[in-house]
Structure 1
Amino acid sequence: MTIVSVLEQPMAKDRHTYSITGGVPLEGSITASGAKNAVTKQLVAGLLTDQPCVLHKVPRIVEVDLVLGMLAELGTEVTWLGEHSVRVHTPEVRETSLSAMYSGVNRIPILMMGPLLHRRGETIVPLPGGCTIGKRPIDFHLEGLRQMGADIAEHPTSVKVHVDRLAGAHIDLPFPSVGATENLLLAAVRAFGTTVISNAAVEPEIVDLILMLQKMGALITIDTDRTITVEGVRELRGVEHTTIADRIEIASFAAAAIATDGRIEVRGARQEHLVTYLNTLRHIGGDFAETRDGLEFWRARPLTATDVETGVHPGFMTDWQQPLTVLLTQATGTSVVHETIYEDRFGYTEQLSAMGASVELTTRCLGAVACRFHGRDFQHTAKISGPRRLHGADLVIPDLRAGFGYVLAALVADGTSTITGTRYLERGYEQPVAKLAAVGAHITTQSV
């Protein structure tokens, strides 16, 4: 049995520095990893039962190591059954709180509230953190749990929650928050009575979590109007489940193929998870085709500008916009990218401008409709003029999704770029250097 442990300050240092020489068309095949945004929540769902749960297609990334470390601290037995299969078994929850080292690391501890309340009736969890991309408050999460009967005390660095047993409630989310929807699902499946979540998020990763919970014995339905209904059950059983492929990684390599005028097949890619993204690629000049094992991406014509507005599923995913923004620097004309999910997600463009990109940020809503940031002092719209010839530079990654954007910028730039801050990229992308090298990227690493 292999118990995963996490060292003190697990996200404090880079493991590698990347050196990338651009100007090479990327060609070849890679296999998509399991979705980070699905598997991390599915590992937490394992806390809902005292029986073993086995997950397949688990990516070997920093974020998974962090979650497994948290679970081990609570009493979970973690056993790797193969390179990408793991068993989590929590016959007894020994601890109801996590150590301070997890404060501000990511948002996973907040999602443990429901399972820990069902198993022990109380918990203290650290406040969330993760990438610096804008405020990600948890008020929707806490209000929903309060409606289900939880007694919540908020502290500067943690939240203390207590309940005899959670009860079903009708919860109307002000915004279809992915995290709040996941949190309420994990709380509702073993609550007494029926919970109705209105205006819920319905991303593929949430549907995949629901499929796992249903296999465990949960009763969950999804209506066409973003309403999720959960009939609570007393107990859940163990499960074996295969996580869906990571649509963010797939989109990243699709952008790389088109930006470098190459051709990449991504095995495991599923068209139904990428419909909006694929339409956008075609507007720009990219194209795709289904293969026996996945999807193949290439540039079909000279790239032209387009307008994009991020939104909740089935809209254009906010985590797709960073590689896309880099791709648009190579398109003829002026493109507009209107970010409606996070108010501070364009900070990475300053370093792109230093490479030669033309990116202008504005507080104006330049999308089809005014978003929730309208009239507020947030630079949440980018105007990208192109094509611009980029040149190599020393880049420092500020957050996970900007990380692949910088990698892509280095791949299309003249000369060689050095990239630090790679710990952010490696928390969400499995073996990024090996996969890039497999499709012909001129990339080397140096351990630090």
Structure 2
Amino acid sequence: MDKFVVRGGNPLLGTIKVSGAKNSALPCMAAAILTEEEVVLENIPQVRDIETERKLLESMGATCELGYGRAQHRTTIQCAVLSDPEAKYEIVKTMRASSLVLGPLVARTGMARVAAPGGCAIGGRPIDLHLKGLELMGAKITQEHGYIEARTDRLKGAHILFDKITVTGTEDLLMAAVLADGETLMENCAQEPEVTDLAAMLTGMGAHIEGAGTSTIRVQGVSKLNGVKHRINPDRIEAGTFLVAGAISGGDLNVDCCNPKHLAAVIAKLEECGVRLDVGKDSIRVRSEGKLKAADMATVEYPGFPTDMQAQFMALATQCEGTSVITENIFENRFMHVSELNRMGANIKVDGRTATVRGGTPLQSAAVMCSDLRASASLVLAALIADGETILDRVYHIDRGYERIEEKLRGVGAQIRRMGEVFGKR
């Protein structure tokens, strides 16, 4: 099993490039189900979840080619025939985004059978909002033996009011609505850039969508969609992680190939902590000058501070003078990194959904365990400044969403190496 070995103490200096967003790429790959024609996606990150999605599409009868060489961040998908519209448990058990094929499958074929989602154990991500929306659109839903099955002759437009903001629910039902008969009105929608990216791709395929990126989305269904060539958004969470890496290490780091507009809440909070940021059109220079200051933070839906940056911000908070109160409002079990950070010398106490971080504490090397994707990133950040050599176990979690993070960090001065079995072509 892969491990990272990190020796702390080096400031990060130079330029680090951001990859395409996993959380945009996965729904866009699922959207290829909606057409018989070829779909080409560019700026695809080389991470485990993308490989899982490729296997999933191919198991259904699609062809899905991941590029190599100069085209290594491109994938070509064609779902001319979907001979087996089922998302099998053996394939999707490690990936929460498996539910994203439910909507496009039932819209295209009239039938879908999808294993209940897997992925990180950070709390419940109920699929009931997906199912409620599909039922409103005329699908008959059954659940048994760990699988969800949806059937319909053809989906019909409906008025869908989400009880709770859900990114994957918004994306899944948006994909279902584009081939439904009539108009679909969706309210209380997620406004994340990943939703907007998916809507842009669907529009390029011939869908009629208004309001993507707002809380209200209106879709006029069409009978058929065409192929498309679409470039995936840069990964705002990877970019945010590298901003924290530059700040926590006391470095001078240029985070390139990002979209600063997608990072407004993260930028504002880092500046509140005393981090100097110079924001360009598609890059951000981060410098940590002088002592960092504590700041409270609460995760909320976009455009607020993202839950996917909570663990990384907590690592930074351990180095900020004073006390930071961090509140997790999205997932109920997203403080599993706390015990590992405390093993490294942090002073963090958790009470329900709130973590109190007493900062300004020097961190020490330790053997730590990665519990989920973003927790892994926080431990890498902590290891960058810890005294001595830290060993991170179960780094397959970080491979799900960060492309060759150890190579990128090593390129700007970090002392980090991988031990164990190599994933992909490293």
CA displacement, residues 242-297 of structure 1 (integer Å, 9 cap, x when unaligned): 00100000000100100010011111111110011100000001121134752111
- Structure 2 residue 3 is matched with structure 1 residue 20: no
Picking from 405, 413, 424, the partner of 2:397 is: 424
- Counterpart residue identity of residue 367, structure 2: D
Specify the alignment match of 1:56 in structure 2. Answer: 42
Specify the alignment match of 1:240 in structure 2. Answer: 229
Specify the alignment match of 1:287 in structure 2. Answer: 276
Change beyond 3 A, Cα 1:139–1:279: same
Gaps of 5+ in 1: 1-13, 363-378
- Structure 2 residue 25 is matched with structure 1 residue 29: no
- Counterpart residue identity of residue 38, structure 1: S
Specify the alignment match of 2:316 in structure 1. Answer: 327
- Counterpart residue identity of residue 28, structure 1: G
Specify the alignment match of 1:42 in structure 2. Answer: 28
Q: Which moved more, 1:260-269 or 1:111-120?
A: 111-120
CA displacement, residues 163-209 of structure 1 (integer Å, 9 cap, x when unaligned): 00000111110111101101110110100011111000010011000
Using the TM superposition, give the Cα deviation of residue 119 of structure 1 relative to its aligned residue in structure 2, in angstroms. Answer: 2.5
| Counterpart Cα distance in 1 of 2:144 and 2:107 | 22
Alignment map for 1:217-366 (pairs within 5 Å): 217-222=206-211, 226-291=215-280, 294-362=283-351
| Counterpart Cα distance in 1 of 2:390 and 2:218 | 50
Using the TM superposition, give the Cα deviation of residue 156 of structure 1 relative to its aligned residue in structure 2, in angstroms. Answer: 3.8
Using the TM superposition, give the Cα deviation of residue 111 of structure 1 relative to its aligned residue in structure 2, in angstroms. Answer: 1.4
Alignment map for 1:163-242 (pairs within 5 Å): 163-222=152-211, 226-242=215-231
CA displacement, residues 361-407 of structure 1 (integer Å, 9 cap, x when unaligned): 11xxxxxxxxxxxxxxxx21111001001100001100000001000
Q: Is the 8 A contact 1:189 1:219 kept in 2?
A: yes
Q: Is the 8 A contact 2:348 2:355 kept in 1?
A: yes
Aligned length: 418
Alignment map for 1:26-105 (pairs within 5 Å): 26-81=12-67, 82-105=71-94
Specify the alignment match of 1:10 in structure 2. Answer: none
CA displacement, residues 306-330 of structure 1 (integer Å, 9 cap, x when unaligned): 0101000000000011111000000
| Counterpart Cα distance in 2 of 1:295 and 1:158 | 44
| Counterpart Cα distance in 2 of 1:351 and 1:225 | 38
- Counterpart residue identity of residue 159, structure 2: H
| Counterpart Cα distance in 2 of 1:311 and 1:293 | 24
User: Runs ≥4 in structure 1, deviation > 4 angstroms?
Assistant: none
- Counterpart residue identity of residue 388, structure 1: T
CA displacement, residues 39-77 of structure 1 (integer Å, 9 cap, x when unaligned): 011000001000000000001110100000000111111
Using the TM superposition, give the Cα deviation of residue 106 of structure 1 relative to its aligned residue in structure 2, in angstroms. Answer: 1.6
Q: Is the partner of 2:86 in helix, strand or coil?
A: coil
Q: Is the partner of 2:75 in helix, strand or coil?
A: strand
| Counterpart Cα distance in 2 of 1:281 and 1:145 | 40
Specify the alignment match of 1:404 in structure 2. Answer: 377
Q: Which moved more, 1:19-28 or 1:96-105?
A: 96-105
Using the TM superposition, give the Cα deviation of residue 86 of structure 1 relative to its aligned residue in structure 2, in angstroms. Answer: 1.0
Q: Cα RMSD between the aligned structures?
A: 1.3
Q: Which moved more, 1:116-125 or 1:323-332?
A: 116-125
Q: Is the 8 A contact 1:103 1:157 kept in 2?
A: no
Specify the alignment match of 2:134 in structure 1. Answer: 145
